[in-house]
Amino acid sequence: MCDGYETYALILTAGVTLQQLLPLETRTAIPFYAGFTIAVTLLGWGFGGVAGGILADYIGRKRTLIYSILAYSFITGCTALAWDWPSFVALRFIVGLALGAEWGTGTSMVAEMWPAEHRGKGAGLMQCGLGIGFFCASGIWFFISAMGPSAWRWMYVIGVLPALATWWIRRGLVESDKWMESDRRRRAVTAAQNRGEHLDEASRQLARFTLVDLFANPRTRRLTIIALMMSTTTTLAWWGISSWVPAYISSVAANEGLLGARWASLAGMCYNIGAICGYIGLGFSADRWGRKPVTVAWFALALVLTPVLFLWTHDLTLLLLVSGINGVFSLGQYTWCPTWLPEVYPTRMRATAVGFCFNAPRFIAFLGPLVAGTLITYFGGYGRAAVIVSMIYILGLAAAPFFPETRGKMLPD
| pLDDT tens per residue across span 323-359 | 999 999 998 999 999 999 999 999 999 999 999 999 9
- Residue 133 Cα distances to 9, 21, 308, 332, angstroms: 9, 25, 26, 14
Q: What's the start-to-end Cα distance of the chain, in Å?
A: 30
pLDDT for res 2:
64
Q: What is the pTM of this model?
A: 0.89
pLDDT at 3 over 70: no
Find the mean pLDDT for residues 18-23. Answer: 81
pLDDT at 283 over 70: yes
pLDDT at 62 over 80: yes
Domains and CATH numbers, the chain: 2-402 (1.20.1250.20)
Residue percentage of the chain with pLDDT more than 70: 98
pLDDT at 396 over 70: yes
Find the mean pLDDT for residues 285-307. Answer: 96
pLDDT for res 30:
73
- The 3-class SS string of the chain reads CHHHHHHHHHHHHHHHHHHHHCCHHHHHHHHHHHHHHHHHHHHHHHHHHHHHHHHHHHHCHHHHHHHHHHHHHHHHHHHCCCCCHHHHHHHHHHHHHHHHHHHHHHHHHHHHHCCHHHHHHHHHHHHHHHHHHHHHHHHHHHHHHHHCCCHHHHHHHHCCHHHHHHHHHHHHCCCCHHHHHHHHHHHHHHHHHHCCCCCCHHHHHHHCCHHHHHHHCHHHHHHHHHHHHHHHHHHHHHHHCHHHHHHHHHHHHHHCCCCHHHHHHHHHHHHHHHHHHHHHHHHHHHHHHCHHHHHHHHHHHHHHHHHHHHCCCCCHHHHHHHHHHHHHHHCHHHHHHHHHHHHCCCHHHHHHHHHHHHHCCHHHHCHHHHHHHHHHHHCCCHHHHHHHHHHHHHHHHHHHHHCCCCCCCCCCC
- The separation between CA 86 and the C-alpha centre of its own chain, rounded to angstroms, equals 24
- Per-residue pLDDT tens over the stretch 241-257: 777 888 888 888 888 87
pLDDT at 282 over 80: yes
Considering 67-76, 294-303, 364-373, 385-394, the range whose residues carry the highest mean pLDDT is 294-303
Find the mean pLDDT for residues 37-60. Answer: 91
**For all residues of the chain together, what is the average pLDDT?**
87
Find the mean pLDDT for residues 287-302. Answer: 97
The band of 278, judged by pLDDT with boundaries at 50, 70 and 90, is very high
pLDDT for res 1:
61
